[in-house]
Structure formats: structure tokens, C-alpha cells
């Protein structure tokens, strides 16, 4: 009765494993096809050829439509470069995921092969010790499981490092967003300066027509316009500097040692070194 129950349990376990592996394979294939279809649709939508509309005598808006088409082409060039970068990154991830190299090291392969060989040859090597043979098979199975657990530990460490790098990237993005907010706050004064300069120019045209005003008032409007233009120029320069600082935050944090110096470490390299030092502490 016990043997029958054990056989039924093994059959049910095998069927469950087969169904799970088939479901995982079907899910992976569906995800891959959906991703390829989405990329193809986005690329075909953005990179569709633009047909220019020539102006005719009946349609007087031909020039406006052509100018709009030209602006669309200029904008699509930047979108095209962004899509090419995105597609290159996705292909890089696919090449890493579809890597057909052996995922087991030579040492792990030899240990697993030795465990299987020992479990298979135990009844032949120890024919007079049935109790020893009964212990060898579970011991080799536990040894094989320990190798798998070690690989799982390595994978979880890599996942934790990736999460820490992602958190550092989010922090870097938030800091860049803060610099951009400062730049936008400084840029907000530019329309005000433009309005003041335009108003001063209008008064500079009107004041000479009024002969009853003192001579000093004639010079007031051009002076205000020049001061407004100077303030707008300073605001533009400061805004450009802050935007450049926001752009350099990510480049500085994630720059490799080859582009800066031998002693320079990027955020990801610092995280890897810290993780390795913590792992070495437990060894």
C-alpha cells in the first residue's frame, strides 16, 4: 500500500512539473511575440513616410501644411533616434537572456556528475551493505540540492545589487529633476522681461510726440528696455548652466573608470564592491 501511494505521488509530481514547464514556455513565447509586435508597430507608426502637400491655387493653406509637415519631419528625427536607442537596449537584453553558453561552471558540472555517478554505482560498489546504499542516494541528492541553492544565492545577490543600482538611478533622476525645477523657476522671469522691454519700446515711440515732458523721460524707456534685456540674458545663462548641471548628474554618477580615471568608481561599481566586501566578510 505504501509503495502504491509513493508511485502515485511520483506520477502526480512529474505531471505537475511538466505542466508547469509547458506553461512557463508558452508564457515566455507569448511575451516575446507581444514585445516584437509592439516594437514593430511603434517603429512603423513613427517612421512612416511623410507626404508633402504642394500648394495649389484652390487651396491657399498649402504653405502652412508644408511647414507643418517639415516640423513633423524634424520632430520625427529625434523620435527615431530615441526609438533606435530603445531598440538597441532591448536587443542587448535579449542577447543576454538568450545566451546559449553553459550556465554551470566546470566545478559545479564535475560535482553534479560525481554525485550522479556515485548514486548509480553505489549498489555495485557496496553489494554487501544495503543500508549504506540506502544512505548514499539521499546524500548525493542533498549534495546536488546544495549546489542549486548556492546558485540561487548568487542570483539573489545579483538581483539585490540590481535593485540597489535602480534605487541609485532613481535618486539621481530626482536630483536632476530638482536642478531642472530650479532652471524653470529662473526661466519664468524671461517672459516678464520681454513684456517690460516691449512696453518700454512702445513708450519710447510715444514720448517724443509729447513735447511737454522733460528731456530725462525720453531716456527712461530705452534704459528700462536695456535693463530688461540684460536681466533676461542673465536668466538665460543661469538657466543653461543649471540645465547643464542636471544633465551632468547622471553622467558623473554612472561614468566608468575608463572615461574619468583609474581611481574613479561609478555608482554601480561602488555597489558591486560593497556587495563583494560584505560577501567576503562571511567567508
72 and 50 Cβ atoms separated by less than 8 Å:
yes
Model confidence band, residue 114 (pLDDT cutoffs 50, 70, 90): confident
Share of the chain above pLDDT 70, in %: 58
pLDDT band at residue 107 using 50, 70 and 90 as cut-offs: confident
Residue 23 pLDDT > 70, yes or no?
no
Q: How high is the pLDDT of residue 47?
A: 47
Q: What is the mean pLDDT of residues 51-69?
A: 49
Mean pLDDT of 110-124: 81
Least confident of 45-49, 71-75, 231-235, 241-245: 45-49
pLDDT mean over 241-265: 73
Global pTM reads 0.50
- Mean pLDDT over 96-109 rounds to 65
Residue 46: what pLDDT? 45
Cα dihedral 69, 74, 76, 80, rounded to 10, equals 150
Average pLDDT over residues 35-56: 47
pLDDT at 126 exceeding the cut of 80 = no
pLDDT for residue 164: 84
| Least confident segment among 50-54, 228-232, 242-246 | 50-54
Amino acid at each position: 500500500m505504501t509503495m502504491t501511494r509513493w508511485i502515485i505521488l511520483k506520477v502526480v509530481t512529474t505531471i505537475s512539473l511538466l505542466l508547469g514547464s509547458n506553461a512557463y514556455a508558452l508564457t515566455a513565447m507569448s511575451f516575446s511575440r507581444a514585445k516584437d509586435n509592439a516594437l514593430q508597430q511603434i517603429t512603423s507608426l513613427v517612421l512612416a513616410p511623410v507626404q508633402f502637400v504642394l500648394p495649389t491655387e484652390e487651396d491657399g493653406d498649402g504653405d502652412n501644411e508644408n511647414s507643418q509637415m517639415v516640423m513633423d519631419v524634424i520632430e520625427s528625427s529625434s523620435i527615431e533616434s530615441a526609438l533606435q536607442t530603445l531598440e538597441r537596449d532591448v536587443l542587448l537584453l535579449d542577447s543576454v537572456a538568450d545566451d546559449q553558453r553553459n550556465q554551470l561552471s566546470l566545478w559545479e558540472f564535475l560535482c553534479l556528475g560525481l554525485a550522479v555517478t556515485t548514486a548509480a554505482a553505489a549498489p555495485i560498489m557496496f553489494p554487501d551493505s544495503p543500508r549504506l546504499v540506502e544512505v548514499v542516494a539521499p546524500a548525493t541528492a542533498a549534495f546536488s540540492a546544495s549546489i542549486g541553492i548556492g546558485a540561487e544565492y548568487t542570483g539573489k545577490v545579483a538581483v539585490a545589487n540590481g535593485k540597489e543600482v535602480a534605487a541609485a538611478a532613481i535618486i539621481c533622476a530626482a536630483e536632476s529633476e530638482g536642478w531642472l525645477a530650479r532652471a524653470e523657476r529662473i526661466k519664468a522671469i524671461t517672459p516678464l522681461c520681454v513684456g517690460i522691454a516691449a512696453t518700454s519700446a512702445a513708450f519710447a515711440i510715444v514720448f517724443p510726440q509729447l513735447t511737454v515732458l522733460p528731456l530725462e523721460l525720453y531716456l527712461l524707456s530705452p534704459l528700462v528696455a536695456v535693463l530688461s534685456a540684460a536681466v533676461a540674458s542673465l536668466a538665460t545663462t543661469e538657466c543653461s548652466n543649471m540645465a547643464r548641471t542636471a544633465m551632468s548628474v547622471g553622467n558623473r554618477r554612472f561614468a566608468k573608470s575608463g572615461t574619468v580615471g583609474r581611481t574613479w568608481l561609478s555608482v554601480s561599481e561602488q555597489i558591486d564592491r560593497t556587495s563583494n566586501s560584505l560577501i567576503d566578510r562571511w567567508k
